[in-house]
Amino acid sequence: MPPRARTDERRRELVAAAARLFDAEGYTTSSVETIARGMGLSKPTLYHYFASKEAILAALNEEFIDLLIEQAETREGLGAGEELRAMMGDVLDLMETHRGHVRVFFEHHRELSPAKRDEIRDKRDRYAALVEGVVARGMAAGEFRAGDPRLVTLAIFGMCNWAYQWYRPDGDRSTREIADSFYDLVINGLRRDP
């Protein structure tokens, strides 16, 4: 493996370790020394990979949103309904595969420097536009009931993005089962058919 690829892989491993630590201990209470010790490194070694604690936070945020964007942009040929169901599942799946990333992404992005926060916000907006585009496409095609695509998108984010507060991997439903239930609520609502 080339040196650059080894460095990138090591950085990803360290971000994953930091995400677990931040999930368990909290971002604000974790010092660089605690982070290094939790990763089995010395502080100088950690600084070799990341210039600061904020650099770890930025890498963690970026990795999370990049995963969602990549998954959304690689889907082709699906109807709006299937694509929306898959997007909802993507967010929920990350609660199992990247739990620490999810918590830190939603709870600590405001602790980034303004420039880094703007960078991540641009990516968040790009992802939101992808989801909103699917909703609008479904409405325009008559697959979904007409409405405000932005408001529907925000409602979807409210359900999916906040689920990390209560989701447990050892619970009675998988992330995809929860996504399917959320999708059914969005598409069909709670009212019984007459």
What is the predicted pLDDT for the residue at 40?
A: 86
What is the predicted pLDDT for the residue at 194?
A: 54
What is the predicted pLDDT for the residue at 105?
A: 92
The amino acid that residue 107 corresponds to is E
Q: What is the mean pLDDT of residues 132-148?
A: 96
What is the predicted pLDDT for the residue at 114?
A: 95
What is the predicted pLDDT for the residue at 5?
A: 81
Q: What is the pLDDT of residues 30-80, one digit of tens each?
A: 888 888 888 888 999 999 999 999 999 999 999 999 999 999 999 888 999
Q: Among 2-6, 41-45, 71-75, 183-187, where is mean pLDDT lowest?
A: 2-6
Q: What is the pLDDT of residues 77-120, one digit of tens each?
A: 899 999 999 999 999 999 999 999 999 999 998 999 999 999 99
Cα angle at 175 between 172 and 178, to 5 degrees?
A: 75
